[in-house]
Structure 1
């Protein structure tokens, strides 16, 4: 499994830093939805799903969290802790997020609007479908 971390260009000086996110430029798809997670307790795991079609880029804009990514054949665990780096999550990739720092703000950019029918929420179903 190949995981793609997108290096986002950081601009800044003594006043601070800025990262611009632009669809079809540094974000490899049209952006239709943006959401963010914050205030997640340290021992909580989130995610536990895959998307049939949806693609996402996750950015830890503050703090850090860990991702467990699973394509049905291989699992990769990684730390997301750089506000100038985005994790591209392709469609049909099981994801779990955990080990959130107390100050973590995790922003997610998606290529489509929320659609419950796009979710695979059962790991057993995910494994079944991914082995076809």
Structure 2
């Protein structure tokens, strides 16, 4: 039953360990320890022009874990029925996004860096890049367009 795949309520903000030191803090991140999956891929987004958004896709199998390594941004989560916005603005907090969630990052502060840890290596066939295709995958019928009188 595809409707049960991913809910915005299954997305969780996770506090990561913070080892404080007068010389600077350290936050270790370990797959299957702090992150709820084994890490297969790491990448980061940076130099994002003001007003630009990133993401705007879903995954069929891949889990993602997003961290604001520097600066801040919002993550808009959508399961086809419910929407939720999470602000990431501290490097010792991350957001787990399970498969079946449409996610878009927006509102990047100047110099923001979004660190992304994933459960799978890159596989284009795992991506859902069209919102209508996403709703079809989730077996959700989009509402009819509003009539303008």
TM-score (norm 1): 0.96
Distance of 1:86 and 1:78 partners within structure 2: 10
| TM superposition shift of 1:53 | 0.4
Q: Given that residues 43 and 99 in structure 1 are in contact (C-alpha distance below 8 angstroms), is that contact kept between their aligned partners in structure 2?
A: yes
Output aligned runs, 1:1-132, within 5 Å: 1-2=8-9, 3-131=11-139
Unaligned runs of 5+ in 1: none
Higher strand proportion: 1
TM-score by length of 2: 0.86
Q: Distance in 2 between matches of 1:6 and 1:51?
A: 20
How many Å apart are 1:83 and its aligned residue? 0.4
Corresponding residue SS for 2:50:
coil
Measured after TM superposition, the shift of residue 131 of structure 1 is 2.6
Provide Cα deviations, 1:100-126, integer angstroms capped at 9, x if missing partner. 011101000001100000000000110
Task: Determine if contact 1:72/1:131 at 8 Å carries over to the other structure.
Answer: no
Larger Rg: 2
2: distance between equivalents of 1:70 and 1:13? 38
SS in 2 for 1:82: coil
Where does the alignment leave 5 or more consecutive residues of structure 2 unmatched?
1-7, 141-149
Following the alignment from structure 2 to structure 1, what is the Cα–Cα distance between the partners of residues 21 and 28? 15
Equivalent residue of 1:83, what SS? coil
